[in-house]
Amino acid sequence: MLKIKTMSFMSLGSILFFSLVLTFSVTSSFAAEKIIRLGIIGLDTSHVTAFTEYINDPNNHTGCRVTAAYRGGSADIPNSADRLDKFTDELKNKHHIEIVDSIEKLCDMTDGILLESVDGRPHLEQVRPVFEAQKPVFIDKPLAGNLADVLEIYHLAKTYNVPCWSSSALRFSPGIIGMRKNEKVGQVTGCDAFGPCSIEPHHPDLYWYGIHGVEILFTIMGPGCKQVTRIHDNDTDMVVGLWQDGRIGSYRGIRKGATPFGAVVFGTKGVERSGPFAGYAPLVKEIITFFQTGRAPVPMEETIEIYAFMSAADESKSAGGKPISIDEVIQQARQKYHH
């Protein structure tokens, strides 16, 4: 009889033990499968559909999902107004994304934000409620419509202690970012980057499309540019930067003829051509990692310098090609918001 009771007790203990194990396993499984909900601000660029397709594809195992979006749009920019309805409809009907009527509501429904408005001018005001809601944010190019707003966005990010970054997709193409540590090049001594450079009248000249080629230049050279000189023609821009260590890097913006993205990289071991644009996937992977870790892959200081480089290029153009100091351009821009 004692043996039977002991066996019953052991059976009950085993049942309880395995129940606890099962409960823990199921709970852990649910925790591991928690999806990071992402919201999109600005549905007037092809990036919103391309990024959503990648992020929401179950085969990519991103751990994130775009769940809601806010339309945005700019009536005075055809590239925005003419595409807003198309991409909104595609997100809503093809990808089943909920379209909401305010950024505040979007933040309430999500864990992180992709600010995708093709127009950089409203970015500062669009990102304010995102910072207030303490949501990490990736801001697509151009980061803002002027350098002062770029500085203010980062100032607010630091004030609210919210992770924030921006980048062109060109940066993370393996054949471009890989040039910083290329065995055939050695230490980078210079770089001539190039790419298409259409101009949009509401933005500084290079902010609109030149940003891609300028980002290539800084991806390969790294930060440290102190002076910018620009030669401008209807079909071409040539912008030359002098780095603090004496290296020279240039950006050729092309508006006529073939317009590939790329660079010629000069180094201590050799001279090599960079790889081409590798699509959006490398950037989107970095965005996903950012939302998972809260760590920005591009330093704030480097992004500020990129926009200061482009703003200095405009000043050099206005001054007939005179060299313009990066530091002076940044100091002037800081005065707008009294930083």
Q: For 274-333, write each residue's pLDDT tens digit.
A: 999 999 999 999 999 999 999 999 999 999 999 999 999 999 999 999 999 999 999 999
**pTM of the full structure:** 0.89
Residue 87 has a pLDDT of 97
- Report pLDDT for 205: 98
Quote the CA–CA distance of 244 and 247 in Å, as a whole number. Answer: 7
Taken in order of first residue, the domains within the chain and their CATH numbers are: 35-168 (3.40.50.720), 170-278+298-337 (3.30.360.10)
State which residues of the chain have pLDDT below 70: 1-33, 339
Phi, psi of 273 (to 5 degrees): -90, 135
Answer whether 204's CB lies under 8 Å from 311's CB: yes
What's the pLDDT score for residue 338?
77
Which H or E run contains 324?
strand 324-325
- Nearest CA among 62, 69, 67, 64 for reference residue 40: 69
